[in-house]
Amino acid sequence: MTHIHDLWRDTPDTHGSCQCGATRYHITAGPTKATLCHYRMCQRATGSPYAALLEVPRKRITWHGSPARYASSNRADRGFCPTCGTPLFYDFHDRDVIEVTVGSLPAGFPYEPRVQYGIESRDHWTTNLRDIPGFETLETSVQSNQSNDGA
Amino acid sequence: MDMTDWPAMEATTASCQCGAIRMDITAGPHRTGLCHCRMCQRATGGPFFAFVTMPSARVTTTGTPAIFHSSEGAERGFCGACGSPLFFRPRTREAIAIAFGTLHKDFPFAPIRAIGGESRCAWLDAALDIDAGPTTKADVKSLQASE
């Protein structure tokens, strides 16, 4: 069985931000842990089938701007940008780590999830992602979406 | 809007985490999909935006979503109180794409297409193979004790 400490890997110094840039953070190089959470509260918090998170020791992250906080339970807060709404973190009150969202990390960040939680509410369709037809974003698609269905 | 090949859905509801925003959606044609584009990643804090699209006229919203104009052509709604991403909507507001995670848990979601492939996360395929079990009290205890 995998020991929990085996799930931490060294990752490089990095910067993250919300969509609009009002809330940003810096994480120094060192061990981090990449996890997925399918728990229903994580689905609601991200509007998504699961939250993809990077766990970082609190002392290695520096915030710029003022993220809004929502106490999603009596144990933890969820942070988001009050201007653009980007979900930014999950923060346990009684732990010395914070978990940032993968979507707020830079595109090239070496994210490799090693463990999944909340599997009781995993959506069956997430196991078929390989089989869903995929397309790159084309300029014509953008134009057609803007004037058509918004997808 | 040409919806001739769109399947029908039953009426359903959607809401944010805290319940300040609720969306009631009537039955009718809909389309499901995923968008891996970088803006959708930022907007959800995740690897992709999973959505259900329908005409805006079929959605009745209770509460006032916060709006962010993510591009010249579109806006994104979220709950200003709890931060849940709620929807993507072109500025014409003719159609709306509701975020999957806000939908009622019994909504029969099955994405039929994906876009934004240029920024699709490489780890998504490997993530399907990660061993996983249900959340148990013992798991929670062991995680808390070892970190």
- Find all residues with CB under 8 Å of B25, minimum gap 6, and list them: B9, B11, B12, B13, B14, B54, B58, B59, B60, B98
Cα(A103)–Cα(A113) distance, rounded to whole angstroms?
Answer: 13
- Tell if the CB–CB gap between B85 and A151 is shorter than 8 Å: no
A21: left (phi over 0), alpha (psi -120 to 50) or beta: left
Nearest-Cα residue of chain A relative to residue B129: A127
Q: How many CB pairs under 8 A join A and B?
A: 234
pLDDT > 50? residue A149? no
Q: What is the pLDDT of residue B33?
A: 94
Alpha-carbon distances of A18 from A63, B42, B67, rounded to whole Å: 12, 6, 14
Report how far residue B92's alpha carbon sits from residue B105's, in angstroms, rounded to the nearest whole number: 29
pLDDT in tens, A100-116: 999 999 988 999 998 88
Residue B134 pLDDT level (bands cut at 50, 70, 90): low
Residue linked to tokens 């985490």: B17
Choose between B131 and B73: higher pLDDT.
B73
Helices (H) and strands (E) in chain A, counts: 2, 11
pLDDT, tens digit, 9 for 90 and up, residues B74-109: 999 999 999 999 999 998 889 999 999 999 989 999
A36/B105 CB distance under 8 A: no
Name B29's bridge partners. Answer: B8
Q: Are residues A19 and B39 in contact, defined by beta-carbon separation less than 8 angstroms?
A: yes
Chain B residues in contact with A135 by the CB 8 A cut-off are 113-115, 117
Mutate to test the interface with A, among B4, B22, B38, B82 (most CBs of A within 10 A): B82
Model pLDDT, residue B139: 44
The predicted model gives A131-145 an average pLDDT of 61
pLDDT tens by residue, A15-69: 999 999 999 999 999 999 999 999 889 999 999 999 999 999 999 999 999 999 9
Shortest CA distance from B101: residue in chain A:
A47
Distance from CA of B107 to the nearest CA of A (A): 11
Any bridge partners for residue B99, and if so which?
A: B51
Determine the distance in angstroms separating the CA of A7 from the nearest CA of chain B, rounded to an integer. 12
Question: In the predicted model, what is the mean pLDDT of residues B19-27?
Answer: 97
CA distance linking residue B120 with residue A57, whole number of Å: 28
Cβ distance of A134 and B117 shorter than 8 Å:
yes
Cα separation, A89 vs A104, in Å, equals: 9
Residue-averaged pLDDT of chain B: 88
Token pair of A71, please? 């106490």
Q: How high is the pLDDT of residue A104? A: 96
Cα distance between residue B88 and residue B83, in whole Å: 14
pLDDT interval class at B143 (50, 70, 90): very low
Residues 6+ apart with CB under 8 A from A64: A23, A24, A25, A26
Number of Cβ within 10 Å of residue A41's Cβ equals 18
pLDDT of residue A139: 60
- CB-nearest to A141 from B18, B88, B115 is B115
Percent of chain A with pLDDT over 70: 87
Q: What pLDDT is recorded for position A144?
A: 37
Mean pLDDT score across all residues of chain A = 86
C-alpha A117 chain-centroid distance: 14
Give exposure, B95-125, as e/b (b: 16+ Cβ within 10 Å).
bbbbbbbbbeeebebebeebbbeebbbebbe
Window from A94-98, A132-136, B2-6, B11-15 with minimum mean pLDDT: A132-136
Ramachandran angles phi, psi of B3, nearest 5°: -115, 25
